[in-house]
Amino acid sequence: RFVPSFTALRPSRLFTDIPEAQAAIEAAARAETGPTDQASALRERLAALTPPEVEASLLDLVRSQVATVLGHATVEAVRPDRPFQRLGFDSLTAVELRNRLTAATGLALPSTLVFDYPTPAALVAFIRETVLGATGDAPADRRVAAVDDDPIVIVGMGCRLPGGVASPDELWQLLSTGRDGISEFPLDRGWDGFLSGGLSDTSFVRRGGFVYDAGEFDAEFFGISPREALAMDPQQRLLLETSWEAVESAGI
């Protein structure tokens, strides 16, 4: 299961001496060899539709598969113009999406699909052209940001600390007033031994320094899927939040 996603963007020679790995690589290659009867059926179905209906049909297909792979309850969270990387795709989920779209369309799709066509809309344009031929509409491509050679120094700060500190201003208030940052154990960490206010078998303290809002995280704001957000280390989520606030603090 690991080899196809690992070798999607890397050389496969690392696995040359592992027969099972070679079999997986060859199977993945066969999946990219050519269209099937299912692809022919898709072509006939789309040929009977008007251009707007073709676009809507393929967009619905792509968005539904993306939502399934990322763990979204509905397709509403998958905007057609939002890059796959901002939606939360990595090499593993990219291969999973390719496999699902291959099964749904019968087309020979590359493992690098979401990297070659970086938005759902661009992917729809690619599938439409593959199935029906060029329509005169150029598929969306990657955009390269302009580089400004003028050096700029950005100074900003963000922080999350015990005592309810969620900003540099709140940290200063904590220090200047001499307020205590030690508090009761939080109730949202699954530490059952402390829920009743008593001591556990492994701890002899009742209070400590805790970041109370560590469990709160706006995954959609950072372009992270619900599935990935649940698997992330809380420190990674806090780093994202404080990094954003540091840039925001600098006036950006």
β-bridge partners, 183: 208
Which residues contact residue 182 at a Cβ distance below 8 angstroms, ignoring those fewer than 6 apart? 162, 163, 207, 208, 209
Which residue spans of the chain are classified as CATH 1.10.1200.10?
31-132
Extract the residue ranges of the chain whose pLDDT is less than 50: 34, 135-145, 195
Listed in sequence order, the DSSP H helices in the chain are: 2-7, 19-30, 37-47, 51-70, 84-87, 91-105, 113-116, 120-132, 168-177, 226-231, 234-249
Compute the distance between CA of residue 163 and CA of residue 52 in angstroms, rounded to an integer.
55
∠ CA 18-24-25 to the nearest 5 degrees? Answer: 90
Q: What single letter denotes the amino acid at residue 237?
A: R
pLDDT of residue 239: 93
pLDDT of residue 125: 92
β-bridge partners, 207: 184
pLDDT of residue 153: 64
pLDDT of residue 137: 43
pLDDT of residue 141: 44
Compute the distance between CA of residue 127 and CA of residue 54 in angstroms, rounded to an integer.
11
Q: How far is CA 127 from CA 46, 47, 112, 158, in A?
A: 11, 13, 14, 43
DSSP secondary structure letter of residue 150: S
pLDDT of residue 198: 54
End-to-end CA distance of the chain: 43
Nearest CA to 130 among 61, 34, 9? 34
Q: What is the DSSP string of 162-225?
A: TTTB-SHHHHHHHHHHT----EEPPSSS--GGGTTSS--SS---SEE---GGGG---TGGGT--
pLDDT tens-digit map of 204-227: 777 888 888 888 889 989 988 888
**Residue 124 near residue 78, CB atoms below 8 Å:** no
pLDDT of residue 185: 81
pLDDT of residue 194: 53
pLDDT of residue 242: 93
Compute the distance between CA of residue 127 and CA of residue 138 in angstroms, rounded to an integer.
12
Segment 29-33 long-range contacts (CB within 8 Å, at least 24 positions apart)? 31/99, 31/102, 31/108, 31/109, 32/108, 32/109, 32/110, 32/111, 33/108
Q: What is the pTM of this model?
A: 0.47
* CATH code assigned to 31-132: 1.10.1200.10
pLDDT of residue 14: 76
pLDDT of residue 178: 92
pLDDT of residue 122: 92
